[in-house]
Amino acid sequence: MLKGSDEMLTQRQELILQAIVRQFTVTGQPVGSKLLAEVLPFKVSSATIRNEMVVLEHEGLVKKEHSSSGRVPSKQGYRYYVDHLLDPAMISATDSAMIHNSLGTEFQKIDEIVSHSAEILSNLTSYTAFTLKPEQQNVLLSGFRLVDLGNSRVLGILVTDSGEVESQSFTIPKRVDPEALEAVIRLINDQLVGLPLTEVVKRLNQDIPVQLTQYLAQPEGFLRIFDTVVNRAAGERFYVGGRFNLLGMDEHKDGKAMKAIYELLDQSERLSSMIDLDTAGDEVTVKIGSEIAKDKLLDDYALITAKYQVDQYGEGIIAVLGPAQMSYARTIGLVDAFRHELAKRLLNYYHHYYDS
């Protein structure tokens, strides 16, 4: 059970709140006492239900819509529901087969699996999905080289021991001696190949710059090239699936707000602050409204996040961003099932690579 408020409702109040949340997430319409009398698992008069709804409203868990006598959940109401009343749904056989088959495709790189996973998860939930590949702490540098593209352009290529390749093209000064550049590449490979990428990043800020001055009068340009490629390989990279799903989630937001939300998807630092990368434990976590970000941009949204563990190869993250009025039980069930299948698929990839 997720950590939540210490203030508890009576069992009847909880069942009424649970019914309001479930009905509203399905229909999007305010829930009245007459409907509740039909769906509640006990017999009670509409008058009694209305009295209990007044209590729930006083506690800030539901609110009354101006055009209806029914109630809708508040953000606090969703929070209470998730913390105390939610049972994640078992995924259907259809969803299970879709996850298994979609991840059964042959992939050449870890990034292909993880980026494809964001699209699959988005299709499953109809929301916007994020995936982050396992941490690169144990990944080693296997090699680095520069390819001359002509017109003072070079392509920096970095290869890791997990088979991943990162590349970036750059412009170099015409006065740079090609032989000196080759000597620098040899030095990099002699000194840094076989080290973890995290250690490579440290060495780039310690002794490597001094050693490069043997061959380059101004090594800063080359260091920028190498540093950029290394950090791309070692850094966090979120893959986003279902970007356009965001556009249909909140019809009340104006164009400016929707544009800001859409642009947020390309801001890695903002995504890192939203998606808690340091979340402890194995639980699926839920953030609602202002819990996601300090500003009100995502006030009407919910973010569901889960880690996946790939044995000694590290852990990654998957997340789903949808409306606060989402089906929490189904979405959490899908996220939980998906992370386990993704972990198995990645583990198979690592075993295949290292055993081959």
Question: Tens of pLDDT along 5-43?
Answer: 456 899 999 999 999 999 999 999 999 999 999 999 999
- pLDDT band, very low/low/confident/very high, at 4 (cuts 50, 70, 90): very low
Rg over alpha carbons for the chain, rounded to the nearest Å, is 26
Give ∠ CA 132-134-136 in degrees, rounded to 5: 115
SS3 20: helix
Question: Tens of pLDDT along 246-303?
Answer: 876 666 667 788 888 888 888 877 888 888 766 656 889 999 999 998 878 899 999 9
Count Cβ atoms within 10 A of the Cβ of residue 26 and give its class: 0-12 exposed, 13-18 middle, 19 or more buried.
Answer: exposed
Q: Which of 32-46, 76-90, 178-192, 330-344 is least confident?
A: 178-192
Domain residue ranges in the chain: 11-85, 93-136+237-355, 141-234
Distance CA 187, CA 209 (A): 11
11-85: CATH number: 1.10.10.10
8 Å CB contact between 17 and 5: no
E runs forming strands in 6-124: 62-64, 71-73
Distance CA 350, CA 356 (A): 10
Strand order in the sheet with 285-288: 238-241, 128-132, 315-323, 301-309, 285-288
Q: Mean pLDDT across the chain, nearest whole number?
A: 86
pLDDT > 90? residue 76 = yes
CA distances from 226 to 144, 155, 197, 203 (A): 9, 11, 12, 12
Distance CA 82, CA 222 (A): 52
Taken as a whole, the chain contains a residue count of 356
Distance CA 338, CA 288 (A): 21
The whole-model pTM stands at 0.76
The set of residues, in sequence order, having a beta carbon less than 8 Å from that of 250 and lying 6+ positions away, is 258, 300, 301, 323
Distance CA 51, CA 47 (A): 6
- pLDDT band, very low/low/confident/very high, at 3 (cuts 50, 70, 90): very low
Question: Tens of pLDDT along 206-259?
Answer: 888 888 888 887 788 778 878 877 877 766 678 999 998 887 666 666 778 888
- pLDDT band, very low/low/confident/very high, at 1 (cuts 50, 70, 90): very low
The CATH architecture that domain 93-136+237-355 belongs to is 2-Layer Sandwich (3.30)
CATH class of 141-234: alpha beta
Distance CA 74, CA 53 (A): 13
Distance CA 305, CA 130 (A): 9
pLDDT > 90? residue 339 = yes
- The phi, psi pair for 71, rounded to 5°, reads -120, 155
Question: Tens of pLDDT along 168-221?
Answer: 888 877 777 888 888 988 998 999 999 988 788 888 888 888 888 888 877 887
Q: pLDDT at position 2, please?
A: 35
The set of residues, in sequence order, having a beta carbon less than 8 Å from that of 334 and lying 6+ positions away, is 91, 95, 121, 124, 125
